[in-house]
Amino acid sequence: MIERIAVETATFLVLAVAAAGNWAAWLGWDQERDVHPDGHETGPYQVWQVVGLVVVLTMLCVVAAALRRLVTAVAAPALGTMTALCLDWSDDDTGLWVVGAALVLLGLLAGGLVIAVLAYGVQNRRAGSAGGGARSAG
C-alpha cells in the first residue's frame, strides 16, 4: 500500500514539474509585447509557442492516462502549468492576470479530461481487441 502511494505521488510530482518546465520552455522566457508600425500591440506569445505548450501538455496527459492514472493525467499538468503561469503573470499590476489564469485553468482541466478519457479509452479498446483476438484464435 505504501509503495503504491509513493508511486502515485512520484508520478504526480514528475508530471507537475514537467508541466511547469514546459511553461518555462515555451512561454516563460517571452515577456515583451510586439509593437506594430500602426501602434497596436500583440503578444507577448506567438502562436507557435502556445501550440508547442499544448502539444507537450497533451503528451504528458496521454502518458499518464496510458499508465492508468486518470486523476494524475488531468490534475498534475494543470497544477504544474498553473504554478508556473501564476509565478509568471502575478507581476501584472492591474490584477487582470487572475481572470486569465482562471480561464486557463478551466481550459487545462477540460482539455486534460478529454485527452485523458480518450487516451484511456483507446488503450482499453486496444487491450480488449488484443485479448479478444487471442481468445478466438486459441
pLDDT in the model for residue 129: 78
Helix 47-66, helix 97-137: angle, nearest 10: 40
How does pLDDT run across 65-100, given as a tens digit for each residue? Answer: 988 889 999 999 999 999 999 999 999 889 899 999
Helices (DSSP H) in 33-96: which residue ranges?
Answer: 47-66, 70-89
How does pLDDT run across 102-133, given as a tens digit for each residue? Answer: 999 999 999 999 999 999 888 888 877 776 55
pLDDT in the model for residue 124: 83
Q: Which residue has the higher pLDDT, 60 or 127?
A: 60
pLDDT in the model for residue 103: 97
> Taking phi first (over 0 means left), then psi (-120 to 50 degrees means alpha), and beta for anything else, what does residue 43 get?
left
pLDDT in the model for residue 132: 55
pLDDT in the model for residue 40: 87
How does pLDDT run across 15-53, given as a tens digit for each residue? Answer: 999 999 999 999 998 888 888 899 888 878 999 999 999
Please provide the average confidence, as pLDDT, over all residues in the chain.
90
Q: At 23, which amino acid appears?
A: W
Res 138 pLDDT > 60: no
Angle ∠(10,111,50) on CA atoms, nearest 5: 90
pLDDT in the model for residue 131: 64
pLDDT in the model for residue 34: 83
